Structure 1
Amino acid sequence: MLMSPPNERDRLVAKGPWIAFAVITLAIAFAAFAGAGDIGRSRAIATTQARAEDAGTLALAILRGELEKQRALPVILARDPDVRAALVGGDRRALDLKLEAIARETRAAVIYALGKDGVAIAASNWREPTSFVGSDYAFRDYFSSAVSGGAAEQFALGTVSNRPGLYIATRIDEGEHPLGVIVVKVEFDRVEADWRALGGQTYVADKRGVVLLSTIADWRFRVERELHPQAAAEIRQSLQFGAAPLTPLPMRRDTGVVHGFGAVMGGHVASRIPFPTTDWQLEVLMPVDKAIREDRSELQTLVALLLMPGAALGALALRRREVNLARRSAESRIKAELERRVDERTAALAGANERLVEEMAERARAQERLSHAREELAKANRLATLGQVTAGVAHEINQPLAAMRTYAENARAFLGRADAAAADGALGKIVGLTERIGTITETLRGFARRGSGPLGPVDLGEAIAGALMILDAPLRQADIVPQIPKLAGPVLVLARPVELEQVLVNLLRNAIEAIAQQWNGVPPLEIGIAPGPSHVSIAIADRGPGLDDEALAALFIPFRTTKPRGLGLGLVISRDIVTSFGGTLTAKGRPGEGCVFTVTLKRAA
C-alpha cells in the first residue's frame, strides 16, 4: 500500500519533539559541565591547599632546625674563657683561629666578638679581605639591644659582605658589668635550596611585611603590601636592608587564590604559618592552574561519559515514540525502516558500551598502578626511617653485644669443661644484657618522641652492676678488678635507669682509659657509695695520671678535651643528665695519683 509523502507541516510537527529534546539535553549538559568545572576547581584548590600546608610544615621545620641549632652557639661561646680573655686584652689571634674552626664545623656564616664599644676584636673571617676585625658595629640594633637586654636577633644586609642574614647576639658579662657581645651571623642559602625541593615558592616576611628569605632571589627585601613613605624612609635610613627598593611583590590576592606575575605567573594557593619565637610569617605559594585544568577535565569527561548513555537512551525513547506515532499512518512502510534503525542504534549502543567498559577497565588499571606506587613510596619511607633507627640502636647496643659475645664464649668453654653452674651464670648475664638492649631500644623510641620520662626510684647497685656488665670486656683486657663496696640492702636514688647507667659507663670508661695510660702492676679502680639522710654520693676513683688545676677548670667546658679523638662533650652531657636528676657531678684531681669523680643524687623513699 503506497503512502502519500509527508507535507511541510507534518515535517515541522515531527521535528518539534527532537528540538525540545536537543534543548533539554544541551541545557542539562551545560549545567552538568559547569557544575563539574566548579567542583573540579574547588577540589583542585583543596588538594593544592593540603599540599601547600604540608610543604609549609616541612619548610618551617627546616628553617626552625637550622635556626635553633645556631641559637645555642652564642650562648655557649659567651661562657667560653678564651672569649672572655680576649675581651680583657688576651690573645685575640688565638680567638680568631678558634672562631674560624667553630664556624667551619657549625656552618655559621661568620662568628665575631665585639668589645663594649661595638668594635670587632676577633672574627672567624679574619683571613678574608672582607674581615670584620676592626669594624665598628655600635650602630647595629642587635648590638645595642644585646647590651641592654642580654640577647638580641636582627635580620639585616651585611654592610661589608653585602649578604643578608640573621644576626644572633649574646652579651658577655663580668659580674654586673658587660665585657662585650658575641655575634653569630646565619645565612640561609642552604635552607632556601631545601625549600625549592618542596615545590612551589616559599618566602618569610617580618611583621612589617618585608620579605627576608625567599626561593626567588628577586623577591628578597620586597614588601607584601605598599609601605607608608615615612616607614620606608626609616627602614632605608637604618641601613637594615641596604638600598633595597622595598617595592610590593608581583601578586594579587583574591578569595582562595593568589594571582602572580612575572616569575610566578598564574594562580597559586597560599599557606601561611607563623614562625615560633619570632615575629616572622612563612608562606608557601603552590601553583594551582594545572591542577584546576586537570580536575575540571577529569570531572567533565566523567560527566560526558555519564550523559552519553542517558542521551542515547532518551533519543531512543523519543525515536520509539516517533516511530509508534508514525506507525499509525504508515505501518507497512516504516516497519522495515524501523528494524534497520533499531539495529543501527543497538550496534551504536553496543560500541559505546564496549568503549565505556574499556575506559572503566583502564581507570581501574590506573588506580591499581597508583595504589602500587603509593605502597612503594610508603615502603621506601619505612625503610628510610628504619635505617635511621637502626643506626641509633647499633651505636647504643654495640658494647652490650660485645659483652654478650664474651659471655657466650665463656659459656661454651664452661660447657666444654662440664661446668654447668658457671655456664648457667654466663647465660644469665646474657639474658640480663638482652633486657638491657630492650631497655635501650625503648629509650631510643622515647627519644624519637622527644620525651624524657619521669624520675623514679633506681637501685644504685643494679645500675653499677649494669654499667660493669657493659664494660666487662674493657676491664678484663686492661686486667682491672674494680673494688665495689658491699651494701647491706638496696640503695634507691631518684633518676632514670638508662641515663644513670649511661653516666656511670662514661665515668668508668674514662677511668679505664686513664689507668691504661699509667699502669704499674695492679691498676686499682674503686667505686665508693656513701648514703646520707637525703642524698647518696657515688665516688669513682682511679690511679691514673690525674689532672692539674687548669685541666680541672676546663673539664666541663664544651669542645675542650685532652683525648686525641675526643669531642669534649662526654662529661658535659653526663653533668647535664645528673643535673636533670636534681643532682651534681664534681671532680677532684690528684696530679700523679689519679682522679675522683663524685655523683650526688637525691635519695628515694
Structure 2
Amino acid sequence: MTQPDPESAGARPAPERSVSRQGLALFAAVAVLVGAVLVLAVGTLAHDRAMTGLRGRAAASAALHAAVLRSELDKQRALPLVLADDADLETALATRDPRRLEALSRKLEQLGAQTRAAVIYVVAADGFTAAASNWRQPTSFLGSNYGFRPYFAEALRSGYAEQFALGTVSRKPGLYLARRVDGPGGPLGVVVVKLEFDAVETAWRAIGEPAFVVDQQGLVLITSEPRWRFHARTPLAPAARQALRTQGQYGEATFDPLPLRARRGDTVARTDAAQADRQIETRLADVAPGWTLHLLTPAAPADQAADAARWITALVWTLLSAALLWLWVRRRRIQLAALRDRETRLELERRVEARTRELTQANQALSHEADERQRTETRLRSLQADLVQANKLASLGQIAAGVAHEINQPVAAIRANADNGLLLIARGKPEAAGENLSAIAAMTERIGRITDELRAFSRKADGRVEPTLVTEVVDGSVLLTASRSRRQQARLTRRGETPGLSVLGERVRLEQVLVNLLQNAFEAVEDRADGAVTLTVRENAETIEIAVADNGPGLAPEVERALFTPFLTTKPRGLGLGLVIARDIAAGFGGELTVASTPGAGATFTLTLRKAVP
C-alpha cells in the first residue's frame, strides 16, 4: 500500500477553513436578515393586537360618554313638552295677570331646582319674557326680549325647536329646548328650558380622555377641553365663518380648527401638546339629532407594546442565533478533525477498520436490540405495577371519603345526645337521660353496621337490594339531623308518609342520602329567620319520590349544572363528595337523584326509588 503525500495531506484542510469562513459569513447574513424580518413581523403583530384592544376599549368608553350625555338630554327633553300643556301656564300667558305670572315664576323656580335645569322661562308671543325660574336673581330674564332668538321663531312656526348658543346674560353655553304654548285663539308663547352641560363635561373630564361633541357643521359644542369649545373639527370656509359670526349665537368665537392633525386610519396627532402624541379618534354618530361624539384615546400603549415585543424578539433571536452558531462551529470542527484523521490512515487500515466497524456495529445492534427488549419488558412490568397501585389508591380514596361522610353524621348525633344526656342528669332526669343513652347505643350499633358494610364492600360487593320501610329511613334521617335543625332554628315539615310503604334499597345507605340532603337544606336556610325545610313522600305507580325542599337562596345556574361533579363544593369545609356519593347510592338501587332550583326561591332535591312490591 502507498502512503499518502504528507504535504498534500497537510495542505488540504486550508480550503476547508476557507469554506468555513464563507459559511460563517453566510450564516451571519441569514441570521440578521431573518431576525430583522422576525422583529418587524412580531412588532407589527403586537402593535396591531394592542391597537385592536385599544379600539375596543375606546368604543366602550365612547359608549359610556354617550350614555352620560343621552341621560342628561332625555331627562330634560320631556320638560318643555309637559310645561306646554300646563293649565296654569296657559292661563298666565292668556291673562297676563301679574299675580298669576308671579305664581308661574315660583312654580318654574321650584321645577328648575328639582330638574337641575339651568333656567326655565316663558316667552310671550310678542317676544318678551313673562315668567322665569331666575326671577329673583340679578340676571333675571323677566322683561327681556328674546324674539330675535332663532329657537323662538322656529318654535312659534313649527311647535318645537332646539338651539345651542351662548346665553345673552350668563354668557354660558347651553342647549335651548323650546316648545310652543297653544291657546284657544292661537299661539300664546313659547316655554324654553336651557340645559347646560357642566356636569356632563366634568364627568367626561374625570374619565381622563379628551371628548367632544360636534354639530352638523363640525363645530365643537360640548367638550371636556374647555379651550376647544366652538372650534371646528375641520377648517371652515371664510363664508361659513362669517355666517356663524353674523348669527351671533356663539359670541366672539373665532371658529379656529381643532389642534388635531389627521394621520393614518383613525389616528390623529395633537399639535397643542409638547409632543405630537398619536391618538385614536373614536366617533359615535347620532348621540343626539345632528350631533357626533368624538373620543381621543392615546395610542402610545400600542407603540410601547410593539417596542417591547421587538426588543424581546431581538434578544431571543440573538441568543438563539448564538446557540445555533456555536453548535454549527462545533460540528464543523468535529467534521474537519474527522476528515484529517481519515486522510492520514492507510488504505489497508481503512479497509480493515471498515470491516471491523461493520462487524462491531452488527454486534452492537444485536446487543442494543436485546437490551432494548429487556428494558421494554421491565418498563411494561413497572407500568402494570403502577396501574395496579393507581387503581388501589383511587379505590382507597373513594372508600376513605365515603367512610368520613357516612360516620361523621352518626358521631355528631352521638355527641349531641351525650351532651343532652349530661344536661338531663344534671337536671335530675335520669329517665330522659337513659333514652339518650339508648339512642347513643343504637347509633354506635349503626356505626358498626356502616363499618361492617364497608369491610364487606372492600372484600367483595354483593349488591344486596331488599324492601325497606320509608318511614324507618325518614325517622332515622330526621333523628340524625335533629341537632342541626335545632341549632339553626329551622322548621322541618314531613308530608305524605304512608305506613307500610317500602322501597327497594338498604336502610343505612338510604339514610345517608337523606341525611346529606337534610343537612344541605338546613345549611341553605341558616341565615333566614323563617327557615323551613319540607320532606315530602309521593307514591307513584312504580316508584316512590322523597323530596327535600328548602326556602333558602337557591342555586346559581352554573353551580346547579356542575352540582354532581366530584370535589366541587361551595362550602368552605366541604369535600364535594356528598351529593356525588348520594347520587351513586341512588343509582345503585335503580333510582336517581335530581335537583330543581330557582335563585332566591330555594332548591328541591328529589330521590326517586323503585317501589317494593309486597
**Contact 1:25/1:311 (CA < 8 Å) preserved in 2?**
no
Q: CA 1:267–1:6 in 2, change beyond 3 Å: closer, same or farther?
A: farther
Name the residue aligned to 2:45. 39
2:214 match:
205
CA distance in 2, matches of 1:123, 1:326: 104
The two structures have a TM-score, normalised by structure 2, of 0.51
Q: Rate the CA distance shift 1:164–1:8 in 2: closer, same or farther, 3 A.
A: farther
The 5 Å alignment of 1:368-383 reads none
**Aligned partners of 2:206, 2:12: CA distance in 1, in Å?**
72
CA contact (8 A) 2:89 2:104 kept: yes
- Structure 1 stretch displaced more, 287-296 or 202-211: 287-296
| Cα distance change of structure 1 residues 176 and 306 upon mapping to structure 2, 3 Å threshold | farther
Q: Taking structure 1 as reference, are residues 240 and 11 closer, same or farther at Cα in structure 2, changes over 3 Å only?
A: same
Distance (whole Å) between structure 2 residues aligned to residue 330 and residue 224 of structure 1: 80
2:201 alignment partner in structure 1: 192
The corresponding residue for 1:78 is: 84
RMSD of Structure 2 on Structure 1 (CA): 3.2
Conserved 8 A contact 2:280-2:299: yes
The answer as to 2:266 corresponding to 1:259 is: no
Is 1:17 aligned to 2:23, yes or no? yes
Q: Give runs of aligned pairs for residues 456-535 of structure 1, distance below 5 A.
A: none
The range that moved more, 39-48 or 185-194, is 39-48
2:305 counterpart (294, 308, 323): 294
Match of 2:336 in 1: 325
> Any idea what SS the aligned residue of 1:99 has?
helix
Question: For residues 95 and 144 of structure 1, what CA distance do their matches in structure 2 show?
Answer: 23
Give the secondary structure class of the aligned counterpart of 1:197: helix
Aligned-partner Cα distance in 2 for 1:140–1:73: 20
Picking from 218, 223, 234, the partner of 2:232 is 223
| Per-residue deviation, residues 193-244 of structure 1 (Å, max 9, x unmatched) | 2222334211100000100011111111000111111111111111111110
Does 1:150 pair with 2:159? yes
Task: Name the structure 1 match of 2:110.
Answer: 101
Given that 2:262 and 2:268 are in contact with CA atoms closer than 8 Å, whether structure 1 keeps it comes out as yes
Distance 1:227 1:112 in 2: 34
Hey, what's the Cα distance between the residues in 1 that align with 2:228 and 2:287?
23
Give the equivalent residue in structure 1 for 2:96.
89
For 1:225 and 1:108, locate their aligned partners in 2 and report how far apart those are by CA, in whole Å: 32
Larger radius of gyration between Structure 1 and Structure 2 = 2
Could you say what secondary structure the match of 2:218 adopts? coil
Matches of 2:168 and 2:277, distance apart in 1? 36
Q: What is the aligned counterpart of 1:62 among 60, 64, 68? A: 68
- How far is the alpha carbon of 1:251 from its aligned partner? 0.8
Cα drift, residue 314 of structure 1? 4.5
Equivalence map 1:96-495=2 (5 Å): 96-256=105-265, 257-263=267-273, 265-298=276-309, 300-302=311-313, 304-305=315-316, 308-309=319-320, 311-329=322-340
How far off is 1:303 after superposition?
A: 6.0
The one-letter amino acid paired with 1:25 is A
The residue aligned with 2:36 is 30
Alpha-carbon distance between aligned partners in 2 of 1:6 and 1:97, rounded to the nearest angstrom: 113
The letter for the 2-side match of 1:317 is W
Rounded to whole Å, the distance in 1 between the matches of 2:29 and 2:334 is 21
Equivalents in 2 of 1:8, 1:160: separation in Å? 97
CA distance 1:6–1:176, shift in 2 (3 Å): farther
Structure 2 CA distance for aligned equivalents of residues 206 and 252 of structure 1: 20
Q: C-alpha separation between the residues in 2 aligned to 1:5 and 1:200?
A: 74
Whether contact under 8 Å (1:272, 1:284) holds in the other structure is: yes
How far residue 74 of structure 1 moved from its aligned partner, in angstroms, is 0.8
Once the two structures are TM-superposed, the CA of residue 308 in structure 1 deviates from its matched residue by 3.0
Report deviation, 1:285: 1.1
SS across alignment from 2:164: strand
Q: 1:248 and 1:94 mapped to 2: Cα distance?
A: 47
Distance in 2, Cα, partners of 1:297 & 1:160: 55
Aligned counterparts of 1:125 and 1:49: Cα–Cα separation in 2: 44
Three-state SS of the structure 1 residue aligned to 2:251 is: coil
Distance 1:175 1:307 in 2: 89
Within 2, Cα distance between the matches of 1:27 and 1:330?
Answer: 37
Worse overlay, 258-267 or 8-17: 8-17
- Check whether the contact 2:287–2:293 (CA below 8 A) recurs between aligned residues: no
Q: Which runs of 5+ in 1 are unaligned?
A: 332-426, 428-605
Identity among equivalent positions (%) equals 39
Q: Which residue pairs with 1:549 in the alignment?
A: none
Cα offset for 1:128? 2.2
SS in structure 2 at match of 1:100: helix
- Matching residue of 1:417: none
Quickly say closer, same or farther: Cα 1:127–1:8, change in 2 above 3 A.
farther
SS in 2 for 1:241: coil
Answer yes or no: is the 8 Å Cα contact 2:47–2:305 preserved in 1. no
| Counterparts of 1:51 and 1:33, CA distance in 2 | 27
Q: 1:79 to 1:320 in 2, by over 3 A?
A: same
SS of the residue 1:255 aligns to: coil
Deviation at 1:130, TM superposition (A): 1.8
Mapped contact 2:66–2:287 kept (Cα < 8 A): no
Deviation at 1:254, TM superposition (A): 2.2
Letter in 1 for 2:175: L
- Which letter maps to 1:151? Y
Q: Counterpart of 1:262 in 2: which secondary structure?
A: coil
Offset of residue 290 of structure 1:
2.6
For residue 169 of structure 2, give the secondary structure of its aligned residue in structure 1.
coil
Cα displacement (A) at 1:11: 6.0
- Partner-residue secondary structure (3-state), 2:207: coil
Q: CA deviation at 1:327?
A: 4.4
Distance 1:70 1:248 in 2: 31
Alpha carbons 1:14, 1:322 under 8 Å: kept = no
Q: TM-score, normalised by structure 1?
A: 0.52
CA–CA distance in 1 between the matches of 2:252 and 2:54? 36
Deviation larger for 311-320 or 84-93: 311-320
What code does the residue aligned with 1:27 have? Answer: L
The gaps in structure 2 that reach 5 residues or longer are: 1-5, 343-529, 531-614
Quote how far apart the aligned CAs of 1:269 are: 1.1
Structure 1 residues 564-597: Cα deviation after superposition (integer angstroms, max 9, x where no partner): xxxxxxxxxxxxxxxxxxxxxxxxxxxxxxxxxx
Decide which of 49, 52, 55 is 1:49's aligned counterpart.
55
- Cα deviation for residue 135 of structure 1 reads 1.4
Instruction: Give the 3-state SS of the residue equivalent to 1:112 in structure 2.
Output: strand
CA distance in 1, matches of 2:284, 2:44: 28
